Structure 1
Amino acid sequence: MITEEELRKNYEDVLNNIKAHAQKVGRDYSDIKLVAVTKTHPIELLNLAVKIGIRTFGENYAQELRDKAKALEGVDIEWHFIGRIQTNKVKYIVPVAKMIHSVYRFEELEEIDKGAKKVGKIQDILLEVNVSGEETKAGLQPEQVKDFLVSATRFTNVKIVGLMTMAPYVEPENARPYFRKLRILRDELKVDFPDIVELSMGMTNDYTVAVEEGSTIVRIGTALFGERKKLK
């Protein structure tokens, strides 16, 4: 496992990169949230991350999110769920997640709304948009988002607060058009849907470009923690 000293340096490097690239385009870097992606990493690593000041964590698996949240109960942490959503596992996500990043099916929205009602909360969610058009990627097509938002207004316990995407794994500069496309879509939607403000885009490979293109949330794993443990 990574040492405290190594993690602290990685964290400082990432924050400095966010700051530099935000300033390059005249943005306030404090508007950008860093979500530390800890999927498959042990609780000991999360404790280390908390010790050096990281407070927002992203998990990809519902049961892992539930278990880690239980293990770290009482610690001041904001949890984000960033993985594929299985409707039968929404019950593990909603009670602990401040934000769910990866919604693109109506069944997911219905289950999240039901779960949020049960625990008495309004659940913040982001809609996943497939801006690259890759068949291997999930998400709504950009032209589907507006109709989805209109239909979603009937749900009382979910609040759609922004959009999320995953760019193709290419050279960072080549990811720029995809991030720009999502930002333009967000800006267009905001006219009729003023709650749509967040842009979750950018990972270890391309977050500096995403910041330049308007990302408000970056999801960083490898740049902080090194290569993650592979699931058996």
Structure 2
Amino acid sequence: MMTKPLYQKAKSIKALSANFADIEKRIQQACQRANRESGSVRLLPVTKTVDEDIIRMAFTLGYDYFGENKVQEAVEKQESMNDLPINWSVIGHLQTNKIKYVARFATEFQALDSLKVAKRLNERLQLEDRHMEVLIQVNTSDEASKYGLHPTEVADFIEQIKSLDRLRVKGLMTLALLSNNAEKVRDCFILLRNIRDGLLDTLPANMSMQELSMGMSGDFEIAIEEGATIVRVGQAIFGARALPDSHYWPESDVND
């Protein structure tokens, strides 16, 4: 099991700015190692359990896209900060009874892995007269406790959802194995990239599949080396959370 660093809480804009600068530098260095443009990777700050005043500080530093795992928490934050033009990305498992809320406020949904959810989300988006960018979650670590499609199911799933015109499918997302073995972690990212690459020649015209959302605080540099276009970083920016991960989401679906 991966050992977590003891991330210090960022309680001031100075500390927060320094943390963002460190992560951006590490993204740039990882891109250089992979012969990639640094602008090809989007940093998605993950703000679950982060207080509103800290998120507002992050916004003043130029960040306007934030990731949230739990819908209820995301809704509360969106409502309390609706004076700011923030884009909210829902990155955790979505229950059907929460779809109506996500359809109303989220810019992006990164954890699509169910035809039932896809259809209901599309219906709610029609009612809201909105479109939404979505990523398909794939279980690349082959852990039964994790959400996400099996790698062999992705192509059929795409065929099943291609007519859902309110969903703008942009790519794939995964959670790597939580391990200190960097090569096993890397294998998860390589697998996701290979799945995406294998789909490119047969994709419907309304799907781009250019995005690979993979990598979190402990492994985002490996993910960038293997093609990540979105990295989801929370604790390395905002600091360690006060309560264990299991208090907020399933232990197997940490998602930074």
TM-score, normalization: structure 2? 0.87
1:200 maps to 213
Q: Is the 8 A contact 1:41 1:229 kept in 2?
A: no
Superposed, 1:4-15 pairs within 5 Å as 4-15=13-24
Distance apart, 1:76 and its partner CA = 2.5
What letter corresponds to residue 197 of structure 2 in structure 1? Answer: D
Distance apart, 1:229 and its partner CA = 3.2
Structure 1: which 4+ aligned runs deviate by more than 6 Å? none
Q: Higher mean Cα deviation, 218-227 or 156-165?
A: 156-165
Superposed, 1:148-163 pairs within 5 Å as 148-163=157-172
What letter corresponds to residue 188 of structure 1 in structure 2? Answer: G
Alpha-carbon distance in 2 for matches of 1:80, 1:25: 27
Alpha-carbon distance in 2 for matches of 1:19, 1:76: 26
Alpha-carbon distance in 2 for matches of 1:111, 1:229: 35
Superposed, 1:167-186 pairs within 5 Å as 167-171=176-180, 173-174=182-183, 175-186=185-196
Alpha-carbon distance in 1 for matches of 2:95, 2:181: 30
SS in 2 for 1:20: helix
Distance apart, 1:181 and its partner CA = 0.8
What letter corresponds to residue 57 of structure 1 in structure 2? Answer: F
Superposed, 1:49-64 pairs within 5 Å as 49-64=58-73
Q: Is the 8 A contact 1:62 1:93 kept in 2?
A: yes
Alpha-carbon distance in 2 for matches of 1:202, 1:35: 10
SS in 2 for 1:9: helix
Alpha-carbon distance in 1 for matches of 2:85, 2:110: 20
1:76 maps to 85
Distance apart, 1:172 and its partner CA = 6.4
Alpha-carbon distance in 2 for matches of 1:50, 1:123: 22
- Between the aligned residues of both structures, percent identity stands at 32
SS in 2 for 1:94: helix
1:18 maps to 27
Superposed, 1:220-231 pairs within 5 Å as 220-230=233-243, 231=247
2:226 maps to 213
Q: Is the 8 A contact 1:172 1:209 kept in 2?
A: no
Alpha-carbon distance in 2 for matches of 1:227, 1:94: 30
What letter corresponds to residue 188 of structure 2 in structure 1? Answer: Y
What letter corresponds to residue 99 of structure 2 in structure 1? Answer: V
What do residues 3-42 of structure 1 show as CA deviations (whole Å, max 9, x unaligned)? 2111111100000000110111111111111111111211
Structure 1: state its 5+ residue gaps: none
Alpha-carbon distance in 1 for matches of 2:195, 2:32: 23
Alpha-carbon distance in 1 for matches of 2:113, 2:15: 37
1:111 maps to 120
What letter corresponds to residue 109 of structure 2 in structure 1? Answer: I
Alpha-carbon distance in 1 for matches of 2:152, 2:126: 30
1:144 lines up with 2:157 in the alignment: no
SS in 1 for 2:148: coil
1:97 maps to 106
Aligned-residue CA RMSD (Å): 1.4
